[in-house]
Amino acid sequence: KAGVTQTPRYLIKTRGQQVTLSCSPISGHRSVSWYQQTPGQGLQFLFEYFSETQRNKGNFPGRFSGRQFSNSRSEMNVSTLELGDSALYLCASSLGGWQTNQPQHFGDGTRLSIL
Amino acid sequence: AQSVSQHNHHVILSEAASLELGCNYSYGGTVNLFWYVQYPGQHLQLLLKYFSGDPLVKGIKGFEAEFIKSKFSFNLRKPSVQWSDTAEYFCAVILRGSSNTGKLIFGQGTTLQVKP
């Protein structure tokens, strides 16, 4: 079974631009969560999608948004990029449903650098 | 706000030494607990998880963890580490309840370096 796939692996952008990251979950997984990982703040939850609906959201500004498609693939968008958005963005998938005891499986991440 | 604390940021051990990494969380309700490991250049992998039942859980690669509810702790242990255990270890908590789906709260991570 293929794991969680994130594309692209690396991105370089400049301040003010916007960016879209993609995540394909494990086949059969319907829940997709996104996290931001930085040396200073560690791993922080961005949002979670299930059946094309955002079910949960972390404490990030509205510049961070996402969506999920009918095949469970998810995209994350960041608009008006700031230097502080430089981070590793991780996507994780799980079976979903309303249970919180299903482990999340992580992708390799997208390394975003803002110049 | 809920938080997860990992007390050791950087641990250096020799091969065959015993390992214990501390993890405490601040939340009075019911939680599910996880330990993840990130080997150099690889993605986060699940080591073990606790949902209910026996508070001593066993994971992959000889790791185990003990949930002590009264201490809000979920410490990771391994009797004898190997050089290949060199990695970063993350404790994570998810709060029970439908409003918390998909939201893992992570500790800051512990870097383990095992010397051959």
The residue behind tokens 């201490």 is B71
What pLDDT is stored for residue A98 in this prediction? 64
> Distance between CA A6 and CA A106 in Å, rounded?
9
Token digits for B11?
Answer: 């641990």
pLDDT digits (tens, 9 = 90+) for B43-69: 999 999 999 899 999 999 999 999 999
Confidence at A53, pLDDT banded by 50, 70, 90: very high
Q: What is the mean pLDDT of residues B97-111?
A: 86
> Distance between CA B116 and CA B107 in Å, rounded?
27
Token digits for B114?
Answer: 């095992």
pLDDT at residue A61 tops 80: yes
Residues of A in contact with B95 (CB under 8 A): 100
> Distance between CA B20 and CA B87 in Å, rounded?
14
Q: Give the CA radius of gyration of chain A.
A: 13
> Distance between CA A31 and CA A104 in Å, rounded?
9
Residues of B in contact with A4 (CB under 8 A): 43
Confidence at A102, pLDDT banded by 50, 70, 90: confident
**Between the ranges A85-99, B16-30, B90-104, where is the mean pLDDT highest?**
B16-30
CA distances to A37, B26, B30 from B71, in Å: 28, 10, 13
Q: Report the sign of the C-alpha dihedral through residues B96, A73, A91, A58, in that order.
A: negative
> Distance between CA A105 and CA A29 in Å, rounded?
10
Residues of A in contact with B30 (CB under 8 A): none
pLDDT at residue A99 tops 90: no
Cβ distance B104 to A45 less than 8 Å, yes or no, reads yes
Cβ distance A100 to B107 less than 8 Å, yes or no, reads no
Top residue of B33, B47, B96, B103 to mutate, by most chain A CBs within 10 Å, is B103
Contact B24, B4 (CB under 8 A): yes
| A105 in reach of chain B (CB within 8 A) | yes
Q: What is the mean pLDDT of residues B27-53?
A: 92
B-proximal residues of A, 25-64, CB under 8 Å: 31-33, 35, 42-45, 48-50, 55-56, 58
What pLDDT is stored for residue B27 in this prediction? 85
> Distance between CA A83 and CA A98 in Å, rounded?
36
